[in-house]
Structure formats: C-alpha cells, structure tokens
Structure 1
Amino acid sequence: MPRFSVVVPVHKVQGYLHACLDSVLGQSYRDIEVIAVDDRSPDGCGAILDAYAARDERVRVLHLPENVGLGRARNAGLPHASGDYLLFLDSDDTLTPGALRALADRLDETGDPDVLVFDYARTYWWGGTRRNVLAHVLADNAGAAFTAAERPEILDLLMVVWNKAYRRDFVEREGFAFPPGYYEDTPWTFPVMLSAERIATLDRICLYYRQRRQGSILSTTSRKHFDVHEQYARVFRFVDARPALAHWRPFLHAKMGEHCLDILSKPDRLPPADRGEFFRRTAEMFHAHRPEGVRVPADLRVLEGSYAGYVLRRQAGRAGRELGRRARQARTATAARAVRTRAALRRPLDPDLAVYSAFSHRGVLGDPAAIHRAAREIAPHIRSVWVLADEERAAGLPPDTEYVLLDSPGYRRAVERATYFVNNVNWSGALVKRPGSVHVHTHQGTPLKFMGADLLGKPGARHGFDVPQMLRRADRWDYSLVANRHSELVWERAFPCHFTSLRSGSPRNDVLVGAGPDSGRAVRARLGIPEGDTVVLYAPTRRDYRRDGLVERIDLARFAADLGEGRTLVVRLHPSLADGPARGLGLAELHRRGVLVDATDEPEVQEVLLAADVLVTDYSALMFDYANLDRPIVLHADDWDAFRASRGAYVDITAEAPGHVARSYRELAYLFDSGTWRDGEARRLRSAFRERYCEFDDGRAAERVVRALMLGEPVTERPPGPARLPAQAGGLGRLTTS
C-alpha cells in the first residue's frame, strides 16, 4: 500500500502534462501511485499518459468513454486509489521539489491527521511567482492537529481541493465525492474541513498553481458561473443533515455572499445581460439561508438591496479611488517642487553633519554602519543621521542612533544641510548634490557579476534596471571604496563617472580580519547551534535567467542529512529572495523542525560569517568577504555557464576559485564526505584568492575612511605595483590605475 495516491484528471493540457507528471514521478519520495484520468481529452493527452504508464509502473491510466468534467473525473479515480493519503493534482499544475517528502514527514510528525493543509504559490505565464498571501495562517497553526472549530482561521485559506492531503479511510467513511459543475471544489472542501476531527498544516510551498494566460475555466465568460448557487446549496444541505454542524451556518452564509459578489465583481465572468439575474439569484439565496438573529456584515448588506443599488455603489467606489489616486499624485508633485525650490538649499552646509543609509534604507548595516561606528569614536563632533524607509525599521536600531524617515520633513532638512553622505546604494534622484558635499559610495562587495553600464549588453539581467538613471545618480559620487584592485578597475568601467577610488578596504570586513575561532560564539548560541558542531553555511545568490531570481540548486533536507552528525547546516538567502517564495519552498519548515538553521533574517551578515566554519556558495559576493577569515570555501557551480551567459561575469570564478569546485550535488556531497573540502589544495587555492581579493582589508578600513574623508588626514599610502587585470575582464584591460 503506497503512502500517497495522486489523482490527476486530464483534459486538453498536452502542453503542460509532461511537466505535471515529471514533478510527481521525479520526487525523491517514491512511495506513491499516480492515477491519471483521461477525461476524453481530444488532444494528445491520452497517448502521453499511456507512454508514462509504459515506463513507470507507479502510473495507472483510466480512459473515460465520455467527457464528464473535473469533479467526476476525480471521482472516477477514487475507487482505484490504495494509498494512505489522497492528493488531487490538476494536470497543468506541478509539485515543487521535495514536496512529497515534506508531506510525509509532517504526516508522521502529527500522527496521520484526517487532513493536511499545505501551501502553494501562483506561477504566472509571464514568469512571475507569488506566494499565497495567507501563508501565515499555516505558520501560526504549525503545532499539533486541531479542528476547524478550534482554529476557524484555517477556513480563510483558498477553499480548493488541491492544497490538501486527505486520509483515504476518512474520505471513504464520510462518503465524500465531487458533484458535477464549475465550482465542484466548494461542496467538497467545506464538508471535509468541517467534518475533520484532526487537521494539520504544513508551512511549505508544495504546489505551483499555474496561472494560464488563457484557458482557465473559471475565468471564461459564461452562464456556467450560475453553478456556484447550486454548489453552496449542496453545502447548506450537508450542514442541515448534521445538527452538530449547525453553528457553522452564519460563517457559510457570509462565505457564500462574499464568493458570489467576488464573481460578480469580475468583468470577464458573466455576460453583461446576465449580471442582473446573477445578483438577484444571489440575493434570494442570501435571504433564504440567513440565520436568525445574525447581523449581516457591512460589506454584504448590498445583497439586501437592488441590483441598481449595487451598480451605483460600485461606480461610487471606483470614482472615490480615482479621486484618491489623483490627490496622491498632486501631493507627490507638490512635495517634489518643494524639495527643488526650497530656500534652504542656499544656506551653508553643516560641516559636522553626516547622513547615512544602507540597503535602500533598511537599517544600520554594512559598510555605512562600520563607518558610522568609527566616526562616533574618532570624530565624535560629527553628527550622524540615518535614513530609514519606515518606522518599523527603527525598532532594532542601536541605542542613541539618530534617524529620519525617508521623504519626511526631517529627512529633507538633513539632506539639505549635510556635508557627508555615506551609502551602499544610490541615493534617490530627488536628492540634490550640493557643491562642497562629499558623497561616499561603499558598494556591497567585490563585483563578480556585471554591474552598471556593463549591464547594457545583458538585456535579461538589466530587467527592471534603468541603467542611464543609475549612472546619473552615480555622477554624485565623490569617492568609491575598494577592497582590491580588481574592484577598482571594475567600478571605474561599470560606472564611468568622475569619482576617486579610495583603496580603503571594506569597512564591514574589519570585524573579520584577524578574527579568532571563538569570534562567532555569540551568534552560534543565538541561532541555537549545538556546542562543538561544525557550521556549514550555504549562501546562494539569485539567478538572472529566471524572472523571480529563484533557482533551487540543492535539496536542503538531503544536504543536511548527508552532512551527518556533528555538522549544522545554516542557510542564508540572497536579500532579494528573502521576501519571495523561496523560504516557503521548504526552508521555513526545515528550520521549524530543526533540520537546519535559517539565518536569512540575521541583520548583520558578517556575524553569520563569523559563526561559520566553512562557506558553501555559488556565485555570491560573500565569498570575497569570507576569505578574510581564512576558512574553507566550497563553490557549488553546477550552472556556471548559464549564470555567466545570462548575467555576465568579470572573472571565471571556477578557474580562480577560493577552494574546491563542485559541478554537481554528487561532487559536493563527496567533498564533505571525504574531508577534501579542507585539504591542502583547498588551503592553497584559498591563499591565492585572499592575496588577490583581500589585499586592502587590514582591519582598519572604517578608520581609514573617517580619517581621510571626514578629518582630512593624509590617505594611507597605496600598495605599489600595477593592478592585476581580471582573467575574464570583458575589456577591463583598457583601464589603468591612478
């Protein structure tokens, strides 16, 4: 008996069917059966299914003699299911890598509940990926199993069949089945969820819900949307037949009203001539099923009136939103004019005022933070003001840190008078560069991938970047900080502007230079890493050949297991991936279960580096920082050619690597299993890498910047000798150093 029976109804999806079946059959968890139901598909789906069944004994194909629709096609597959749990997968959707293993582990952890609800992400035909906005409901209920009455918020999730695993004997005992019609999920999911005695959640994206440009049944214009009324009538009949569920009637009454009004609000759902009839039927049903003594929510009271009143309310709402939009535009234009014409711009600069920002105003972080700390120590007369994006960012600021919010009156006063501006991201175009002000750009690390003007030859990589605007903002730089001569050459090419390169080293790396083996003890304790464990830090970067930047290169659960006892896997995602679906694809769940440690939210990446005994990365600039610690580095470069082709790289990092290079997961696992990751060759490669890319990092970079640029002291003499040109410079050889 398999653990999972995956029922896949199939109709007119031949372009998506291979991806769907491959996502199931290619899972590392193999204790499954696939019951594919060919719903008399007129295209090549039947032949595709037969081909899969011929080469994989886990696939069973049912060919229906006539087209019966999605719900009844699922019903046809149910009698053939023998697994402990049922999964219903639409044939244009896909499971995410590792999904079945995660489901099996969670079922074991929660003692085989009746229903396991998991997360999903919408994937759009234009390349975008968006996680379910209510994912927090799954995370908030990640403990023991519960009932819907105990946690009613579980019913706020999308009530569809495919985001749940169902215990088969529970489904058979209750006699659940799908009715015919458009909205067949409704009379399945509500009865199932209300009847389940034990529900569990999995805070992990297990399914990609494909948003097709055309072809979605529920997005077509048709009278078939009237089916929603009969489907909710089935739900009410189910509740009426079970007195113990009577208390759910007010909830279902409101859900029905919300669902029907949502259909009516979509301009592409109903023919215009049928919209009034749909409203009237909804209102009649809303009145017929209204529980006694229950107050109607304000947003549903429109169903107590006429269709004409509904139309007027909709029109008034649209008009109000348009007026609000115009008012916001007017305020923005007025504020911009005020900034440009403010008389204070003619007042003298304050020679003792410095304004700082880092990572688009996220907090006191990175190189600017290191310079700020050094300035408070050796130039205490200089007032430091930080720019933050919002008040929420101020919660974790160090004591006695002065800050202003972006575009606030305090911000405008600060930037109008400040002499020093320190940032690792370009300031906004509205900031006026005044004569006598000093703009220090720290960058965010040693460049490996193409930046600035070099992106003009990489149209895919510069998606979302306005390179000419980027260069206009860089025209305000007075100084560019560099940690090595490679960076000096790259920045002067990528940003052809009139700035001076300062061979200062990277201020953020001062804490890494000369750090001892116990330097990361505090952060290891904070992260809950067992005393004495070897910490393996995995820090992947984003990919420019994917629109959302996310490409899963490693099965994290497998990697953590393969590392073995005495080793803790710590993962830190690239900042651009931290708020997307990446953490929902298993990382958050594995962290919750203690399989690994998710350190993405640690504010200072240098502290995470101090805690690590070895860094595993692909093409992240963190390798250049980590090299200062003289600890092992392993590159996982299985898609180097694709990465370099899509983004461009200044160096062939696989040829000038800081340690051993793994071209596959198998090679990566071998490096750790054999101990090769820290052998003599690894030390030799690391030494040469440090010599090239850490040459100006001596632990005094922040002090050097403050003394040279704020106190006017002589700049520390630069190391002699010509700059070493990168191996893959892309034309950098034409540059010279001053």
Structure 2
Amino acid sequence: MTLVSFVVPAYRVQGYLRECLDSILGQPVTDIEVIGVDDCSPDASGDIIAEYAERDPRVTAVRLPGNVGLGPARNVGLDRATGEYVWFVDGDDWLAPDCLTEVADRLRATRPDVLLVDHVRTHWDDTATRSAMAEVFPEPPGPVTFRLRERPEALRLLHTAWNRLVRRRFLDQVGLRFAPGWYEDVSFSYPALLAADRIGVLDLVCVNYRQRRAGAITRTRGDRHFEVFEQWHRVFRFMADRGLDELRPAVFERMVWHELTVLGNGARIAPELRKPFFDRISADHRRFAPPDAPAPEGAEGLKHRLVAAGDWRTFSALRAASRTGAAARGRARAVRGRVLPPARRAARLARDALLREYYRAELRRPVDDGLAVYAAYWYRGYACNPAAVYEAARRLAPQVRGVWIVRRDRVHTLPDGVEYVVAGTPAYHRVLARARWLVNNVNFPDFVRSRPGTTHVQTHHGTPVKVMGLDQQRYPLGAVGMDFAGLLRRVDRWDVSVTSNSFSTQMWERAYPAAYTTLEVGYPRNDRLVTATAEEVLRIRAELGVSPGERVVLYAPTHREHLPRYRPPFDPERFLAALGPAGRLLVRSHYFHDRDRRRPADRDRIHDVSAHLRVEDLYLAADVLVTDYSSAMFDYAVLDRPIVVYAPDWDAYRLARGVYFDVTAEPPGAVARTFAELLDIFASDAVADDGAERARARFRARFCALDDGHAAERVVRRVFLTDEGRFALV
C-alpha cells in the first residue's frame, strides 16, 4: 500500500512548481504518490504537472475546468489519494532532502492520526527564519503520541496544512475537509488536532515555506482577509459539536493572536479597512471568550485588553507609535552605515551630481509621448531583441521616434540612419527622463526612475540555463559582488517582461519577482532566423569568406562568472582536422569578453568572429553549433540545424553556478563531456544521427514553439499600439 499521498495544488506557481515536485519525487522513500491539481491556473502550472505525470507513474495530473480555490483544490486531490497518509504540500514550497526517510520511519513506528513536522520560512532574499517548534517543545516528545488535552501547547505551532501528515482513514472518520475561502488551513488544521487520539511530533525540518516577494496572498491587500473570521467560527462550531470546551481557552487565545496578526500586516489590510477589521475582532472576543479567560502577558496582553474593550483609538495610536520608533531606528542604522567616497573621485562625483540634477529637472518636464529609447548589453550597440523591436516599430508605428543609447567607443557600429545619444551626456539623461517607452535587454542604471504614464520593457537576452536573479543567492561563487537589493529595485521598474517560451516565463517569475506583465511571445531577435531567405544565407556566408560546399561550425562557449579566467579545453587545429578538408570553424567568445585580447588569431579555415556585430548572421552562416551552457542553443535551434553540447566542466559548473535544467540529460543534440568525445562525434558523424535528431525535435518543441517570425510584431502591437492605433500598453 502507498504510504504517503502528496496532494500538490497549483495556481500561479509555475516558477516554483518544478522545485516542489523534484523535492518530493527525489526522496529516498518510493512508496509514495503525487496528485498534482491544476486549479485552472492561467500560467503553465498545469502543463508542468502533466509533463511530470507523463514521465513518472507516481504522479497523477488533475486539471480543474474552473478555479475553485486552494481548499477545494486540496479536496479534489484528497478524493483521489490512495495512501495511508496524506501530505498537503503547496506548489511553491519544497521538501528538505531525504526528510521523508525519518518521516516514514516515524509513521510506521507510531501510526499517529496527525504527525506534526518542523519547517523554516525561506525568504526571497535567501534568509531563513526558524519556526516556533523549539519554543513550543523545548524537549521534543520523541516517538510517542498524545491527545491535545495532554499537550495543548501543540496549538501554538503554525496552523498550516503542509506542516503535518494526516491519516487518511482518520479524515474519513471525522468527516474533515477543507472549507472554501481564504485562511482555509484554520478550519482544517485545528479541528484535526482537536479530534485526533494520536498526535505525533517529529523535530525535523521537512518543509521550506517559501516567502514570496510577489504574488502571495499574505502580500495582497483586499477585503477577502475578512474571511478569516468565518474560518475561526467553523473551529468553534466543531468544538461545540464535540463537547471540547476544556480546550476552548487555548483555541480562543490562538484565534485572537491570529486575527491580530492579520490586522497588523499592512500588506493585507488597507488603512480604511483596519477599524472595521478591529471591530470584528472585538465582536469575536465578546462571542467566544471563555469565562475569566486570562490575557497573555506583556504587549500581547495589552492588545487583548484593548480588543476586549473595543478601544480602536488607543490600539491604533500605540500601533502608530511602535512603527514610528522602528522607522527611526532604521534611519539611524542607515546613517551609521554610510561611507564617504575617496577624495580622488571628487571631480567625477561633482560632474555626475550636476548630470543627476539635470536629469531630475528633466523629470519635471512632460513625458514625450512619441519617444522610445532603446539600449542593449550595457550600451554596447545596436543588437539583440531591442534592435528587432526597434525595426518592427519603425515599420508598424512610424510615429514613434526611436533613439538608441550607445557608448562613445561603439558609435561607429550603429547602422546608418539610427538616431542615438552617447551614454553619460546631457542628451542621454534627457531622453531617459522624458521617454514614453524604455526598451532594454538588461537593466538601466540605478538612477533611472519609472515615471507615471511610461512603460519600461525588459526584453532579456536569452533563455536561462544557469540560475539568474534571486536564485543566484544559493550559489555565492557565481554571485560575487551582486547587490540583490539593488537588483530588485531595478526589477521593480519593469512594466513588461518579454519571454521566448513558457520555460523562460517560469524561471524569470521566480528569479525576478515583481508586478510586471509578461509577454510570452517569442524572442524578437529570432524573427530573422525564421524569415531569412536562402539568398541572404549565401550572402552572409560569402561575406565571412565561406566557399560553397564548406561545412561551417560555430563554437560559442558561455562565460563562467565563478571562473573568469577559465576557457574550455578546445584545440581549434585538432577540431578542424576532425571536420575534414571541407570544414571551417568560427569561434565566438561571450560578450563579457569584448575586451579580451587572448583570442585565437585568424588562420586558414579558423576565424575569430567575437567582434561580429550581429550574432544572428553567424547562426545563419553556420551548419552546426557547438556550445556548452549558453542560451545560443535555444536561438540556434530555431533553424533546426545540428547542435552539439560540449560540457567538459558540467559537474563543477552546475554545483558552483547553479542551473535550471540538465542540458546533458535534455540536450538539443549530441553531448560530449570531453574534447576527445567531441572530436569523435564529428569524426563519426554522430552530430546528425537519429538520436541527435530526436533530441533536437524534443528540444525545439519545448523551447521554440513561439518562434514563427512575428515576435517583434507582437511586442510592438502590445506595447506601442492598441487596436485603435493609440499609444498604450494593453
């Protein structure tokens, strides 16, 4: 018999769901099942569950035709559970490695009705907060069970569904299910403890409770937080029906604590709703207070007394005073932490200060409703997705004036007729301050402000293999010098995030959590790969010196942030020998190396193309791509030509830098782990055998489905034009 049924409801958790499912399915205990319930999620959560169900028989995928909410979705999974125990795990949380071994041992040894397990709150900034387990049980009970009247302090553990396993037959006997509405855990978790004859506690951190920066109910304001009251009323009705009055004082204290916690969270209760919410707490206090119930000590006791008296004025004044004091202490810490810049930078700082003042003055002038500003790769020039959007906008929205920002040393690379400003000049600050649209594939500098009525478009510049953004906090070797707080301030300026596929959407959502709108439309820069003609390909090859009949291989390795001096073992001469007399090799370094002078010199049939302005030309010219962990593989796959993953340092790279998926297990073609294997792939022509062709087809289906040649047009119509032809984000 299956020991544990995991019920995983999913709604808008596409960025986290894979980590959740992997953490369950990767446990060493095998007698489990996972029921993934897609609660009619508008993102790719349902597709992810279906993908896992297709490849793992332990996973059952359920798609609901309409959104029912977390509680009813859990009930749907519960109805399909066949395990002896049920564990409700939210789709954005994840289990600690190997924790299920001890959980299973404890379940088999004690057969509890409810087994409580420990957790940590894992915050978006990669910090963690302990639970109350150590305070509630300073001496863990060990492998014994008890009833709640024997250990009522168990009520003080967090009342969620995911920090406990519940025996399936016990739930049937009690008739316990989740109620609809928010705070549904309250009317499930407390009654489960109240009715259980055998409660166990496992003092082991099993769940990472993700504290999301954006998208969580606890960070959503609205009147639905008032639903907490009805959930608590259900608990008291449950107690009354079963004659459990002896536990009423402990449950009452938890109710008031919880309701005050909800009120105290400014991210939940808007200012105009705070007094009505407080009044409801006071009403519950009058309705459910046991006779002569003692108030807690200290500040909590004062809050209880004010609630009992219905004294909102005093309660509100004390709350405001407390917040003012905390803010003052924070400002004092900030002042103490300031460090003055070195004297030698005084002149430069003075100039920068004048330009910033000029920028602030320009911010006070009206937005130029016809101006769009473009930039790419930290002002390196005209390239990537912004260039494709610019070209489409010139065609579809000619009334929009497009201006590029470029470094002074890269001005000569701009195409004829492209209007530009040089980075750092007054003109640069002026267009940044007044533009209606800002389009970039990286972030603009920190001083740039997002003005009302403007739209900041983040196009990105690749589908991620390596972890990005906040996820890099778990891999400090690849995040040296990163300012994550500053990164989030920059991300908060985004209004639109353009993504190339569902996978990218999922990863950006977790790496860059903010309130932007995602346009999952394909990458504009790849339009050219779809629409290029045979004549254009021949012209590009001729410009690169490629003769008819030659087989061109483009080698494009990625950058190793954690090993900046590292170069993959690659001997161009030996590789060319494996290609044969009709072979030609193009070598392109990562754009981070644009000042690297240690590139190989051009020689017969070997060319360094690192300085070539548009990488799309190189893709069109190449017959085969060899890369490692670069996003180049996703773009090149649009052409449906052979790709070889050369991953000599894969094990070290994924451990030190972190990756989102295994390119050696789900590759776009043949895989080589050593240079000798790479040579053999080409010598044996395994680069294009049946296995490589099937791998590329799977890869293209997953990552290239949106690349139809019209991505830039979709961005322009969504960002610059409404159906009526007016400028707006729709």
SS in 2 for 1:440: strand
Alignment of 1:665-704 (within 5 A): 665-704=675-714
Between the aligned partners of 1:355 and 1:600, the Cα distance in structure 2 is 26
The answer to whether the 8 Å contact 1:545/1:642 transfers is no
Residue 667 of structure 1: how far off its partner (Å) = 1.3
SS in 2 for 1:513: helix
The answer to whether the 8 Å contact 2:355/2:426 transfers is no
Question: Which of 384, 392, 396 in structure 2 is aligned with 1:366?
Answer: 384
What are the superposed Cα offsets for residues 241-273 of structure 1, whole Å, 9 maximum, x if unpaired?
A: xxxxxxxxxxxxxxxxxxxxxxxxxxxxxxxxx
Q: 1:436 to 1:509 in 2, by over 3 A?
A: same
Q: 1:456 to 1:670 in 2, by over 3 A?
A: same
Q: 1:329 to 1:345 in 2, by over 3 A?
A: closer
Q: Which amino acid aligns with 2:584?
A: T
Residue 714 of structure 1: how far off its partner (Å) = 9.7
Between the aligned partners of 1:694 and 1:331, the Cα distance in structure 2 is 47
Q: Which amino acid aligns with 2:373?
A: V
Corresponding position of 1:551: 567
SS in 1 for 2:477: coil
Q: 1:559 to 1:362 in 2, by over 3 A?
A: same
Question: Which of 444, 452, 472 in structure 1 is aligned with 2:489?
Answer: 472
Q: Give the superposed CA RMSD.
A: 1.8
SS in 2 for 1:512: helix
Does residue 329 (structure 1) correspond to residue 349 (structure 2)? The answer is: yes
Does residue 410 (structure 1) correspond to residue 427 (structure 2)? The answer is: yes
The answer to whether the 8 Å contact 2:376/2:384 transfers is yes
Corresponding position of 1:623: 633
Corresponding position of 2:476: 459
Corresponding position of 1:226: none
SS in 1 for 2:445: coil
Task: Report the identity percentage.
Answer: 47
Residue 641 of structure 1: how far off its partner (Å) = 0.6
Between the aligned partners of 2:484 and 2:504, the Cα distance in structure 1 is 19
Corresponding position of 1:388: 406
Between the aligned partners of 1:448 and 1:618, the Cα distance in structure 2 is 10
Q: Which amino acid aligns with 1:362?
A: R
Q: Which amino acid aligns with 2:367?
A: L
SS in 2 for 1:704: helix
SS in 1 for 2:476: coil
Corresponding position of 1:494: 511
Residue 552 of structure 1: how far off its partner (Å) = 3.1
The answer to whether the 8 Å contact 1:514/1:699 transfers is yes
Aligned length: 384
Residue 470 of structure 1: how far off its partner (Å) = 1.5
What are the superposed Cα offsets for residues 200-258 of structure 1, whole Å, 9 maximum, x if unpaired?
A: xxxxxxxxxxxxxxxxxxxxxxxxxxxxxxxxxxxxxxxxxxxxxxxxxxxxxxxxxxx
Does residue 445 (structure 1) correspond to residue 483 (structure 2)? The answer is: no
Structure 1 residue ranges, 4+ long, deviating more than 3 angstroms after superposition: 322-325, 514-519
What are the superposed Cα offsets for residues 576-606 of structure 1, whole Å, 9 maximum, x if unpaired?
A: 12322541xxx12xx1x32401111111001
Residue 463 of structure 1: how far off its partner (Å) = 1.4
Does residue 566 (structure 1) correspond to residue 582 (structure 2)? The answer is: yes
The answer to whether the 8 Å contact 1:538/1:570 transfers is yes
Between the aligned partners of 1:614 and 1:571, the Cα distance in structure 2 is 12
Residue 351 of structure 1: how far off its partner (Å) = 1.5
Q: Which amino acid aligns with 1:497?
A: A
Residue 515 of structure 1: how far off its partner (Å) = 4.1
Corresponding position of 2:220: none
* Structure 2: runs of 5+ lacking an equivalent: 1-341, 726-730
Residue 544 of structure 1: how far off its partner (Å) = 3.3
The answer to whether the 8 Å contact 2:358/2:426 transfers is no
Q: Which amino acid aligns with 2:354?
A: T
The answer to whether the 8 Å contact 2:359/2:430 transfers is no
**Mean CA deviation greater in 446-455 or 553-562:** 553-562
Does residue 352 (structure 1) correspond to residue 370 (structure 2)? The answer is: yes
TM value normalised by structure 2: 0.51
Between the aligned partners of 1:676 and 1:517, the Cα distance in structure 2 is 26
SS in 2 for 1:661: strand
What are the superposed Cα offsets for residues 73-121 of structure 1, whole Å, 9 maximum, x if unpaired?
A: xxxxxxxxxxxxxxxxxxxxxxxxxxxxxxxxxxxxxxxxxxxxxxxxx
The answer to whether the 8 Å contact 1:355/1:415 transfers is yes
Q: Which amino acid aligns with 1:492?
A: E
Corresponding position of 2:555: 538
Between the aligned partners of 1:581 and 1:396, the Cα distance in structure 2 is 19
Q: Which amino acid aligns with 1:569?
A: L
SS in 1 for 2:707: coil
The answer to whether the 8 Å contact 2:505/2:518 transfers is yes
Between the aligned partners of 2:683 and 2:344, the Cα distance in structure 1 is 62
Alignment of 1:123-162 (within 5 A): none
Does residue 482 (structure 1) correspond to residue 482 (structure 2)? The answer is: no
Question: Which of 699, 708, 721 in structure 1 is aligned with 2:718?
Answer: 708
Between the aligned partners of 1:626 and 1:652, the Cα distance in structure 2 is 18
What are the superposed Cα offsets for residues 605-653 of structure 1, whole Å, 9 maximum, x if unpaired?
A: 0110000001011111100000000000011112111110111000111
Between the aligned partners of 2:533 and 2:688, the Cα distance in structure 1 is 18
Residue 549 of structure 1: how far off its partner (Å) = 4.4
Between the aligned partners of 1:516 and 1:632, the Cα distance in structure 2 is 19
Corresponding position of 2:290: none
What are the superposed Cα offsets for residues 416-448 of structure 1, whole Å, 9 maximum, x if unpaired?
A: 211111000100011111011001100011011
Between the aligned partners of 1:627 and 1:333, the Cα distance in structure 2 is 47
Between the aligned partners of 2:724 and 2:679, the Cα distance in structure 1 is 50
SS in 2 for 1:616: strand
Alignment of 1:542-621 (within 5 A): 542-546=559-563, 548-583=564-599, 587-588=600-601, 591=602, 593-621=603-631
What are the superposed Cα offsets for residues 164-199 of structure 1, whole Å, 9 maximum, x if unpaired?
A: xxxxxxxxxxxxxxxxxxxxxxxxxxxxxxxxxxxx
Q: Which amino acid aligns with 2:374?
A: Y
The answer to whether the 8 Å contact 2:584/2:606 transfers is yes
Q: Which amino acid aligns with 1:368?
A: P
Corresponding position of 2:330: none
Corresponding position of 1:232: none
Alignment of 1:114-125 (within 5 A): none
The answer to whether the 8 Å contact 1:520/1:608 transfers is no
Residue 467 of structure 1: how far off its partner (Å) = 2.2
The answer to whether the 8 Å contact 1:659/1:682 transfers is yes
The answer to whether the 8 Å contact 1:519/1:611 transfers is no
Corresponding position of 1:504: 521
SS in 2 for 1:542: coil
Residue 557 of structure 1: how far off its partner (Å) = 1.9
Q: 1:543 to 1:681 in 2, by over 3 A?
A: same
Residue 337 of structure 1: how far off its partner (Å) = 3.4
Q: 1:576 to 1:459 in 2, by over 3 A?
A: same
